[in-house]
Amino acid sequence: MLEKSYGLLFFLKQPKNQNEDLRFVYLRITVDGKAKELSTKRKWDQTKWNQATGRAIGTKEDAKALNSYLDALALKINEAKRKLIENSKQVTAQFLVDYLNGTEEKGRLIIQAFKDHNSKMELLVGTEYAPGTFIRYTTACEHLQKFIEWKYCCDDINIKDLDYEFISNYEFWLKGIRNCAHNTAMKYISNFKKIVLEALKKGWILRDPFLGFKTTKREVIRTALTQQEINRIKNKKFAIDRIGQIADMFLFSCYTGLAYIDLKQLRIDQIITGIDKQKWIITTRQKTDTATRLPLLPTALEIVNKYRDHPYCIETGAVLPVPSNQKLNAYLKEIADICGITKTLTFHIARHTFATTVTLSNGVPIETVSRMLGHSSIKQTQHYAKILDTKISQDMKALRKRLGHIG
């Protein structure tokens, strides 16, 4: 660690409301312009004090005793400073004062820092953060604590003990013991990394333990429904009303690209007449806080009109009577079975279906799709285009068979 600007001074301080010549001897430590003062619990006559040297004047035993005591204090402080520098630890005036008092700065603990971060985040849910983000950080903290208990047999560790090996072991635990997929593990590690970088900025640690560690996610080819599969759901007459309602909500997302939370929060006053005299959805995507502007396709508009007089929609102003995500996905499994769809159907597949089957496959430019999806960057949309390679492969496979029959 590089040497810092450093000063050590003994001086006399006049007690409040007293004008006597005896004054307290104080110590002032200054590091990088930040000073801390500490009483030596000694008094001395101001007429026998050398302000320039910061020592008592005289050859009598009392002057010699005070100067020896002050020299010993200075030596003790300089020794503490030397050890900090040798161990590449941060030198601060507060730490040196605490060292003299026997109350050295308590080490910052990583789990405690994580919990403090999450407590502040919780207060900003709904304004700065989505509820799902807070839940993910809470889970990430719980995983980290379980790893520390597994590896170190304790509840928490000093943040200064973090290093590359700690992070590598944590990655192994997430994948090998917790059985997380690679991308899921990287999400939890990225959440942890945010806490570590905050600690670095605050000066709690001097080196970034993540230096050289890559949190790159692997590309995932996302599932989307084909137009034939969409039509199976669209044309099916469901015997149970609640199943039919869920099918309608799923189809609405297939033709709008809205994520679950955005559909749940969609209100009828967010459907307006656009510049083309057609109905548009104008809303803000909760996850990224970016604007979403998209014209309603005929199927989506039919679903809006179908539920306009639903009691829940009348009472709340919602466009659709959307249940919990868990309940909705449970019903989608029934819908897949009823419609003979072998893909694992989740509500988020509807968003992928809009991006690929409904828009990109039909020639809508990727820039337009990106805007309608509410993506903050076109890079977020580009992975959808790669799904089309699967469709190309399937189409060419069918063509080979037809050509084989012709030949």
In a domain, 220, yes or no: no
**Per-residue pLDDT at 111 exceeds 90:** yes
Q: Measured over all CA atoms, what is the biggest interatomic distance in the chain, rounded to whole angstroms?
A: 119
Q: Which domain holds residue 316?
A: 227-402
**Domain-terminating residue out of 101, 124, 143:** 101
Is the domain of 56 the same as that of 197? no
Identify the band that residue 113 occupies on the pLDDT scale cut at 50, 70 and 90: very high
For residue 51, give every residue at least 6 positions away whose Cβ sits within 8 Å of its Cβ, in sequence order, or none.
11, 12
For residues 69 and 119, membership in a common domain is answered with no
Letter for the amino acid at 227? Q
Q: Is residue 211 part of a domain?
A: no
**Structural domains counted in the chain:** 3
Give 375's contacts (C-beta < 8 A, 6+ positions apart): 288, 290, 381
Domain-embedded: residue 212: no
Cβ atoms of residues 341 and 235 within 8 Å: no
Residue 1, in any domain of the structure? no
Question: For 85-91, what is the mean pLDDT?
Answer: 72
3-state DSSP assignment of residue 92: coil
What is the percentage of the chain residues whose pLDDT exceeds 70?
Answer: 91
Q: Domain containing 338 — which CATH number?
A: 1.10.443.10
List phi, psi (to 5°) of 143.
Answer: -60, -45
258/377 same-domain check: yes
Residue 208 covered by a domain: no
Domain-located, residue 213: no
User: SS3 helix, strand, coil % of the chain, rounded to 5?
Assistant: 55, 15, 30
Instruction: Give the 3-state secondary structure of 216-235.
Output: CCCCCCCCCCCHHHHHHHHH
What is the 3-class SS of 292-340, one letter each residue? EEEECCHHHHHHHHHCCCCHHHHHHCECCCCCCHHHHHHHHHHHHHHHC
- The strand pairing partners of 68, in sequence order, are none
Inter-residue contact 359 to 373 (CB < 8 Å): no
Of 31, 36, 30, 39, the C-alpha closest to 12 is: 39
Confidence of residue 1 (pLDDT cuts 50, 70, 90): very low
* Same domain, yes or no: 195 and 242: no
Residue with tokens 């909705």: 328
Answer yes or no: is 357 within a domain. Answer: yes
Confidence of residue 103 (pLDDT cuts 50, 70, 90): low
| Total length of the chain | 407
Q: Which of these ranges, 15-19, 80-84, 117-121, 377-381, has the smallest mean pLDDT?
A: 15-19
The DSSP annotation for 9-27 comes to EEEEEPPTT---SEEEEEE
Instruction: Return d(Cα 35, Cα 93) in angstroms, integer.
Output: 6
pLDDT category at 132 given cuts 50, 70, 90 is confident
CATH number at residue 186: 1.10.150
* Residue the block writes with tokens 């020592």: 55
Bridge partners of 25, per DSSP, are 12, 42
**CA–CA dist 395, 384 (Å, integer):** 18
| Structure-token pair, residue 169 | 């072991």
Tell me the pLDDT band of 362, cut-offs 50, 70 and 90.
confident
Residue 221 placed within a domain: no
**302/396 same-domain check:** yes
